[in-house]
Chains A and B, each alone.
Chain A
Amino acid sequence: MTLPPDLVAVLPLVAAVLAAIAVLLVDLALPGRRTAVVLTALVALGVVAFAAVAVGGEERVAFGGAYTVDALTTFLHVLFVAIIALTITFAPDYLVPRALPVGEFAVVLIFAMTGAMLLAASTDLLLLFLGLELMVLPGYMLAAFHKSDGYSTEGAIKYFLLGSFSSAIFLFGLAFVWGLTGSTRVADVAGALGAFAAGQGTLSAGLAMGLAFMTTGVAFKIAAVPFHYWTPDAYQGSPTPITGYLSVGPKVGAFALILRLFVEAMGGLRADWLPVVIVLAAVTMTLGNLVALTQNNVKRMLAYSSIAHTGYMLLGLAAWAAGRMEGLEGLLYYGAAYSFMNLGAFAVVAALQKRTGVTSNLGTFAGLGRREPLLGVLMTLFLLSLTGIPPTAGFFAKAYVILAAVQAGGAVAILAVIAVLNAAAAAFYYLRVVVYMFMRDSETDAPAVAHGRLLWGGLAAATALTILLGLIPGPLLEVVGRAARAIG
């Protein structure tokens, strides 16, 4: 028996939906058995990753060109699975003491992953939009997961209102781009726009407006300045493991959308959108870092730092538009490195908050190096990686992106200089946490809580990836190289 080729192409998605249903059923059949639920989720995610790699063995186009499996799709699919698996490992330590259901958390998270996976494989504007919504709707629910907590719901309503506002803007742009180019297929839109770039006819005002609206909508989703207002509250308010996911999953997902939109659909017009990206990147990284300097809450500080990291990733896009393929590779590498180090940092914050009532204020970290040396050392590693200090993943990713930008020359090289200055400024607020951990006396004399084995497993994985991606970048570089060539 052979499956129809269209069905084979979407097998990873089918596996992801089945994984969510399996977790739901296990949670239903064995209520209160958290270990069983988590193990089911992790095994099912393993199956999804296997399906993604197996199906990604060759390039596939399905559903009349609306769905494409290429090297980029496979890379993103595996990355999303890894992000979700890591989030699930460190969530129970935070959720259980607060009487929040682990099973439902895992299910909603896996449903969000199906959206992200659809987004990564879509080569049709409408399907991209559906994937985006499927990814962010569970995100809103997760942000409000602690529904009796004022902060969680407050963060969620801001996330939701701004999120659906930006979706509406994106959709308005999509309607005009579809109406005026005559197709929602990325390849057809690229053909129509490429004709304008080649000088055949001029870009009509309606089409230009449509593209501008879509760009604005996407800028909201990646939290680029000045469309970032929802980020700090949504990140600070959400339960910590969920903040970890929100700062990573939807961001990488939105970058997948950007790659399909800017690189594939609007690639012909790159000379026109390059200045926009340069300005966005410069403002985003600078403002993100400057405001992060003044934060006393580590979650809020990491929220602003994630805005700054968006800027560095946009730098890679700018370098690509200026003619350097390495920019695109750097962007993808940065996405992976950022995911692991940021999730690691949030895992430590979540571990400290296992005792209910512990805030994410800077004071919580005072004396951590003495109270819980291992957590202190790991947090230091993740923060050093976020700063971009060798030999960590963050250093290699940042260096790669900046190098590509410098080679691109012109305005992009100036942007690279801004990025370097920003990285230096960012060191201040990352290292401030390290100073608190090792050079301040503890503000509390409560004994350390025991952390779950699962959390240590997740932390070990994040640590290993953060170090390995810095020391041995070769294998991943080869993967992102193939992924970049698939679209650029």
Chain B
Amino acid sequence: MSDSLDVYLTLSGILFAIGTFGFLARRNAISMLMSIELMLNAVNLAIIAFGSFVEPLRADGSVIALMVMAVAAAEATVGLAIVIAIYRNRRTPLVDEYDAMRR
């Protein structure tokens, strides 16, 4: 365990970048959803790191992290519902085949 805030923030930045890359590079809607979750978890890591290293932010940090988790869960619920709905129509989870309106 490192005792430097910067190390954790860097890790959070790297996780966020991996999530962003995954979102932009993957074609599968479920993978894209997972990438978004990774980005949100990177955010949570940054929040917790600030909370535990900066004394005045300690109480706020946990509350904000909990709220982010709640929002992430709500978002995943709606997202998976939409993915199921489109899978029933198209029989594929690949987003680049969702191009009916661009033809």
Partner pick for B89 among A153, A160, A164, CB 8 A cutoff: A153
**A237 adjacent to chain B (CB < 8 Å):** yes
Tell whether, in the assembled complex, residue A144 and residue B47 are in contact, meaning their CB atoms are under 8 Å apart.
Answer: no
- In the complex, A156→B86 CA distance in Å? 9
**A47 adjacent to chain B (CB < 8 Å):** no
Tell whether, in the assembled complex, residue B101 and residue A133 are in contact, meaning their CB atoms are under 8 Å apart.
Answer: no
Tell whether, in the assembled complex, residue A171 and residue B40 are in contact, meaning their CB atoms are under 8 Å apart.
Answer: yes
Binds B, one of A175-183, A253-261, A428-436, A480-488: A175-183
Q: Would A126 and B29 be within 8 Å (CB), given that A157-B83, A158-B98, A175-B50 are in contact?
A: no
Tell whether, in the assembled complex, residue A168 and residue B78 are in contact, meaning their CB atoms are under 8 Å apart.
Answer: no
Q: Would A130 and B54 be within 8 Å (CB), given that A161-B29, A161-B32, A164-B36 are in contact?
A: no
- In the complex, A184→B67 CA distance in Å? 13
**A154 adjacent to chain B (CB < 8 Å):** yes
Tell whether, in the assembled complex, residue B78 and residue A140 are in contact, meaning their CB atoms are under 8 Å apart.
Answer: yes
Closest chain A residue to B46, Cβ basis: A175
Residues facing A in B17-66 (CB within 8 A) are 19, 23, 29, 32-33, 36, 39-40, 42-43, 46-47, 49-50, 54, 56-57, 60, 64
**How far is the CB of B54 from the nearest CB of chain A, in Å?**
7
**A233 adjacent to chain B (CB < 8 Å):** yes
**Contact count A vs B, C-beta below 8 Å:** 116
- In the complex, A184→B50 CA distance in Å? 13
Partner pick for B19 among A161, A168, A174, CB 8 A cutoff: A168
> Interface majority SS on A: helix, strand, loop or mixed?
helix
- In the complex, A172→B50 CA distance in Å? 13
- In the complex, A158→B16 CA distance in Å? 21
Interface size on A, residues (CB 8 A): 41
Q: Would A148 and B89 be within 8 Å (CB), given that A157-B82, A172-B16 are in contact?
A: yes
Partner pick for A182 among B42, B54, B75, B101, CB 8 A cutoff: B54
Mark interface residues in B81-103 (1 if CB within 8 Å of A CB, else 0): 11101101110000100101110
Partner pick for B82 among A153, A172, A174, A179, CB 8 A cutoff: A153
CB-CB under 8 A from A232, the residues of chain B are 101
Interface centre among A167, A184, A236 (most CB of B within 10 A): A167
Partner pick for A137 among B47, B78, B83, CB 8 A cutoff: B78
**A155 adjacent to chain B (CB < 8 Å):** yes
- In the complex, A133→B83 CA distance in Å? 19
- In the complex, A223→B34 CA distance in Å? 24
Partner pick for B100 among A150, A206, A300, CB 8 A cutoff: A150
Tell whether, in the assembled complex, residue B86 and residue A157 are in contact, meaning their CB atoms are under 8 Å apart.
Answer: yes
**How far is the CB of B86 from the nearest CB of chain A, in Å?**
4
Interface centre among B56, B68, B78 (most CB of A within 10 A): B78
**How far is the CB of A89 from the nearest CB of chain B, in Å?**
26
**How far is the CB of B39 from the nearest CB of chain A, in Å?**
4
CB-CB under 8 A from A50, the residues of chain B are none
**A165 adjacent to chain B (CB < 8 Å):** yes
- In the complex, A157→B88 CA distance in Å? 13
- In the complex, A409→B21 CA distance in Å? 41
CB-CB under 8 A from A156, the residues of chain B are 82, 85-86
**How far is the CB of A76 from the nearest CB of chain B, in Å?**
22
Tell whether, in the assembled complex, residue A167 and residue B75 are in contact, meaning their CB atoms are under 8 Å apart.
Answer: yes
**How far is the CB of B34 from the nearest CB of chain A, in Å?**
12
- In the complex, A389→B56 CA distance in Å? 55
Tell whether, in the assembled complex, residue A137 and residue B75 are in contact, meaning their CB atoms are under 8 Å apart.
Answer: yes
Partner pick for A172 among B46, B49, B81, B86, CB 8 A cutoff: B46
Tell whether, in the assembled complex, residue A133 and residue B74 are in contact, meaning their CB atoms are under 8 Å apart.
Answer: yes
CB-CB under 8 A from A148, the residues of chain B are 88-89
Tell whether, in the assembled complex, residue B43 and residue A168 are in contact, meaning their CB atoms are under 8 Å apart.
Answer: yes
Interface centre among B33, B88, B98 (most CB of A within 10 A): B98
**How far is the CB of B11 from the nearest CB of chain A, in Å?**
13
Tell whether, in the assembled complex, residue B101 and residue A154 are in contact, meaning their CB atoms are under 8 Å apart.
Answer: yes
Q: Would A144 and B82 be within 8 Å (CB), given that A154-B101, A155-B101, A237-B101 are in contact?
A: yes
**A149 adjacent to chain B (CB < 8 Å):** yes
Partner pick for B79 among A133, A164, A174, A176, CB 8 A cutoff: A164
**How far is the CB of B89 from the nearest CB of chain A, in Å?**
5
Partner pick for A184 among B60, B71, B86, CB 8 A cutoff: B60
- In the complex, A160→B46 CA distance in Å? 24
- In the complex, A164→B47 CA distance in Å? 19
Tell whether, in the assembled complex, residue A144 and residue B71 are in contact, meaning their CB atoms are under 8 Å apart.
Answer: no
Partner pick for B56 among A157, A172, A182, A237, CB 8 A cutoff: A182
CB-CB under 8 A from A140, the residues of chain B are 78-79, 82
Tell whether, in the assembled complex, residue A172 and residue B60 are in contact, meaning their CB atoms are under 8 Å apart.
Answer: no
27 A–B contact pairs at CB < 8 A? A126-B64, A126-B67, A133-B74, A141-B78, A144-B82, A144-B85, A148-B89, A149-B89, A151-B101, A154-B90, A156-B82, A156-B86, A157-B86, A158-B98, A164-B75, A165-B39, A167-B71, A168-B39, A168-B43, A171-B40, A172-B46, A174-B43, A175-B43, A176-B46, A178-B64, A179-B54, A233-B101
Q: Other than the known A151-B100, A158-B95, A174-B43, what 17 A-B pairs have Cβ atoms closer than 8 Å?
A: A144-B81, A150-B100, A151-B101, A156-B85, A160-B79, A161-B79, A165-B39, A168-B39, A168-B40, A172-B42, A172-B46, A178-B64, A179-B49, A179-B50, A179-B57, A182-B56, A232-B101
A-B pairs with lowest CB-CB distance, top 8: A179-B50, A168-B39, A153-B86, A147-B85, A175-B46, A150-B89, A154-B98, A153-B85
